[in-house]
């Protein structure tokens, strides 16, 4: 349930409502809006005790949250959330482009890629240190060595870095090096991992599982928010369908829907979403048109030699071309967003 406070509600009145919500057995979450404060009663408790708060001083009304995801829902937080990664806000007026190799392979490879993507307009760097591979015989990532390379290249280029975390045992180490932790598609419903990540003070990039519904994806995000980490960015990366010409089917309607249902920023990943470099430009434009807050794109100095996902990676020239192709929509959207401050 949501307790909507009046614009004029005092700190003390808000504190009183929080106490009463907790006494009723719920977890109280205070959401500071631009105009007024909302106290969300999350979990299970004695419903009528919260309903009765509609008569408490400073309270406007008490309404049920109809969605199964609560803190993630726009019902609880109507204004959009911006998540800051280093100095880069995701979900603000500017659409962010994150780019880099699927896997970190060497310092030389990552630095060259970082410089090229930065030059072309990317504001964040991606690179896998721990790789979820379908086959155990495929390259599994350089692990801790790759984390050091990511941190060095961040120092050298100023680009904040995002890298995937696959297991709870790696969380502390990755937090020492990365600016943002990615939960990969295969781990979207790894609840032990989500619970652990709810306790860290780092933003999380939560990819949609290849067979997950939008509701399941938002409920996975709810694990993070309800456990205390509200710095969550969603990412649509394609789902499994009967289509065989593309690696996955990128669901751009889900980008728009996730933004409609949730206040969290939503990115699109046209690399994993299509598996085809030739589709990255058009799908990026479509994702921007659908409202995506940003893109994450795989780039490699020589895709042919990449140790993972070379077939879908752009080379430097290809990435620069995509950035040119999206320049006009990026500028237009940034203008609109700044004007409406969504």
CB of residue 269 vs Mn ion: minimum separation in angstroms?
9
Residue 247 contact partner, candidates Mn ion, ligand PEP, none, CB within 5 to 8 A by sort of partner = none
What are the φ and ψ backbone dihedral angles of 28, each rounded to 5 degrees? -95, 130
Q: Which of residues 179 and 309 has its CB atom nearest to Mn ion in the complex?
A: 309
Contact partner at residue 185 from Mn ion, ligand PEP, none, CB < 5 to 8 Å by partner kind: ligand PEP
Q: Which does 237 bind (CB under 5 to 8 A by kind): ligand PEP, Mn ion, none?
A: ligand PEP
| Shortest distance, position 42 Cβ to ligand PEP, whole Å | 28
Q: Which listed option, Mn ion, ligand PEP, none, makes contact with residue 132 (CB within 5 to 8 Å by class)?
A: ligand PEP
- Strand duo 180-183 + 204-207: pairing: parallel
Which one, 102 or 123, has the nearer CB to Mn ion? 102
3-class DSSP assignment, residue 260: helix
Shortest Å, Cβ 130 to ligand PEP: 10
Instruction: Compute the least distance from the CB of residue 86 to Mn ion, in Å.
Output: 22
Nearer to ligand PEP, 76 or 142 (CB): 142
Residues forming the site for Mn ion (CB under 5 A): 102, 309
Is there a contact between 190 and 161 (Cβ–Cβ < 8 Å)? no
Torsion angle defined by CA atoms of residues 163, 169, 172 and 174, in that order, rounded to the nearest 10 degrees: -20
Token couple for 139: 């390259």
Q: Which is nearer to ligand PEP, 37 or 312 (CB)?
A: 312
CB–CB of 79/34 below 8 Å? Answer: yes
Residue with tokens 């599982």: 209
Nearest to 100 by CA among 86, 76, 117: 117
Dihedral in degrees, nearest 10, Cα atoms 98, 101, 107, 113: -60
Type and span of the H or E element at 28:
strand 27-32
CB of 5 to Mn ion, least distance (A): 45
- In whole angstroms, how close is the CB of 300 to ligand PEP at the nearest point? 12
Give the residue at shortest CB distance from ligand PEP: 184
DSSP 105: -
Toward Mn ion, which CB reaches closer, 59 or 102? 102
- Min dist CB 128 to ligand PEP, Å, is 5
Give 213's Cβ-side CA count (13 Å radius). Answer: 4
Q: 4 φ, ψ to 5°?
A: -85, 120
- CA separation for the pair 298, 276 (Å, rounded): 11
Nearer to ligand PEP (CB atom), residue 77 or residue 237 = 237
184 binds, among ligand PEP, Mn ion, none (CB under 5 to 8 A by kind): ligand PEP
Measured from the CB atom, is 102 or 129 closer to Mn ion?
Answer: 102
Residue the block writes with tokens 């694990």: 223
Instruction: Give 247's DSSP letter.
Output: S
Question: Site residues (CB under 6 A) for ligand PEP?
Answer: 102, 128, 132, 184-186, 207, 237, 272
């Amino acid at each position: 349930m949501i307790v909507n406070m009046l614009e004029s509600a005092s700190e003390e009145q808000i504190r009183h409502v929080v106490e009463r919500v907790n006494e009723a057995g719920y977890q109280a979450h205070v959401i500071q809006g631009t105009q007024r404060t909302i106290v969300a009663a999350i979990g299970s408790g004695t419903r009528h005790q919260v309903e009765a708060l509609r008569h408490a001083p400073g309270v406007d009304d008490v309404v049920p949250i109809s969605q199964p995801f609560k803190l993630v829902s726009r019902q609880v937080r109507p204004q959009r959330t911006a998540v800051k990664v280093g100095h880069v806000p995701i979900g603000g007026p500017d659409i962010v482009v994150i780019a880099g190799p699927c896997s970190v392979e060497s310092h030389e490879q990552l630095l060259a890629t970082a410089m090229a993507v930065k030059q072309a307009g990317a504001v964040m760097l991606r690179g896998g240190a721990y790789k979820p591979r379908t086959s155990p015989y495929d390259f599994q990532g350089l692990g801790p060595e790759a984390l050091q390379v990511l941190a060095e290249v961040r120092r050298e280029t100023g680009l904040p870095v995002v890298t995937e975390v696959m297991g709870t045992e790696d969380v502390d180490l990755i937090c020492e090096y990365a600016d943002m932790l990615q939960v990969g598609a295969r781990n979207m419903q790894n609840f032990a991992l989500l619970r652990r990540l709810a306790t860290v003070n780092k933003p999380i990039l939560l990819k949609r599982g290849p067979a997950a519904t939008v509701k399941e994806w938002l409920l996975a995000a709810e694990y993070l928010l309800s456990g205390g980490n509200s710095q969550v960015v969603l990412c649509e990366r394609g789902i499994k369908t009967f289509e065989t010409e593309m690696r996955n089917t990128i669901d751009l309607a889900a980008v728009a829907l996730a933004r409609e249902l949730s206040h969290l920023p939503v990115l699109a990943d046209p690399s994993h979403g299509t598996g085809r470099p030739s589709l990255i430009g058009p799908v990026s434009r479509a994702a921007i048109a659908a409202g995506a807050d940003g893109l994450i794109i795989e780039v490699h100095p020589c895709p042919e030699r990449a140790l993972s996902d070379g077939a879908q990676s752009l080379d430097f020239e290809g990435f620069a071309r995509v950035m040119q192709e999206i320049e006009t929509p990026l500028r237009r959207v940034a203008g609109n967003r700044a004007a409406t401050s969504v």
